[in-house]
């Protein structure tokens, strides 16, 4: 099976190797996420749509038992090569091979941007299913400019992508059993490649 990211995997890994370097706020959020997971028993954490595994490795450095899952065989191969001590599995966020209620946390960093809007509830339900009670999800994606529009598609180098209204996403997460804890909205900066405001939403399974 080939997936849209296979042909871009090597370029993506090189381009975003140091992506957290100038992202002070995102690093702070990841630290907060890690602290919440550790405080709640330090269960395993899945980095869904982990790509080349650079953020999975960062989560490990923050003391989490993190592993990665990605649908792209090329991404999983690169992640394994770059991080020999870590576990990376081939799989889809829409049908996770993970037991109910078994995870202390889930990170979904720009990984649902290519999920068609009608399929996002299925992915969020899967995340809600695998999180343990009190487990945290940190999800990031691009926000719509007009919050009254639930979602909008946009051109993306790899394949069609979608951005979401923060309130609409928070509502879908609530429907999947995860209540909002906090959110940040970061404006595009001259130093990064973002076209749109980026939403980071932290939620907790009730
Ligand atoms: C924009 S990249 C983000 C990679 C990484 N999370 C990061 O922050 O650099 C999107 C990743 O999500 C993966 N992906 C897309 N749909 C997926 C799905 N249904 N299940 C698992 N991974 C998926 C892609 O293969 C790709 O590696």
- pLDDT on residue 1: 82
Which atom from ligand 1 is nearest to the alpha carbon of 107?
6
Is 1 within a domain? no
Q: At what angle do helices 166-175 and 120-130 cross, to 10 degrees?
A: 50
Range of the domain at 64: 6-16+23-205
pTM confidence score:
0.97
Count how many domains the chain has: 1
CA distance 173 to 73: 28
CA distance 21 to 34: 18
Residue 190 has pLDDT above 90, yes or no: no
CA distance 155 to 191: 21
Pocket test for ligand 1, best of 5, 67, 119, 154 (most atoms within 8 A of CB): 5
Q: Domain holding 81: CATH number?
A: 3.40.50.150
pLDDT band at 151 (very low <50, low <70, confident <90, very high): very high
Residue 191 has pLDDT above 90, yes or no: no
* The pair of three-digit structure tokens given for residue 109, joined into one six-digit string: 């960093």
Is 60 within a domain? yes
Residue 115 CA to ligand 1 center (angstroms) comes to 10
Q: ∠ CA 185-44-107 to the nearest 5 degrees?
A: 20
pLDDT tens sequence across 101-135: 999 999 999 999 999 999 999 999 999 999 999 99
Is 164 within a domain? yes
Residue 147 has pLDDT above 90, yes or no: no
pLDDT tens sequence across 25-84: 999 999 999 999 999 999 999 999 999 999 999 999 999 999 999 999 999 999 999 999
CA distance 127 to 27: 22
Residue whose tokens read 């980071």: 200
- Closest to 37 (Cα-Cα) out of 64, 69, 73: 64
């Amino acid at each position: 099976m080939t997936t849209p990211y296979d042909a871009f995997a090597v370029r993506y890994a090189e381009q975003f190797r140091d992506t957290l370097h100038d992202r002070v706020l995102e690093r702070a959020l990841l630290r907060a996420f890690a602290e919440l997971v550790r405080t709640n028993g330090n269960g395993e954490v899945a980095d869904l749509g982990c790509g080349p595994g650079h953020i999975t490795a960062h989560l490990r450095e923050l003391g989490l038992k993190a592993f990665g899952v990605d649908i792209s065989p090329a991404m999983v191969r690169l992640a394994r090569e770059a991080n020999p001590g870590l576990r990376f599995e081939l799989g889809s966020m829409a049908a996770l091979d993970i037991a109910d209620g078994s995870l202390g946390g889930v990170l979904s960093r720009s990984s649902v941007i290519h999920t068609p809007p009608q399929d996002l509830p299925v992915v969020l339900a899967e995340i809600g299913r695998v999180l343990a009670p009190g487990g945290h999800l940190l999800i990031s994606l691009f926000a719509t400019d007009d919050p009254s529009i639930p979602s909008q598609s946009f051109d993306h180098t790899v394949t069609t992508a979608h951005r979401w209204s923060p309130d609409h996403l928070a509502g879908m997460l609530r429907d999947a059993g995860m209540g909002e804890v906090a959110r940040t909205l970061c404006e595009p900066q001259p130093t990064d490649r973002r076209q749109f405001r980026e939403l980071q939403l932290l939620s907790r399974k009730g």
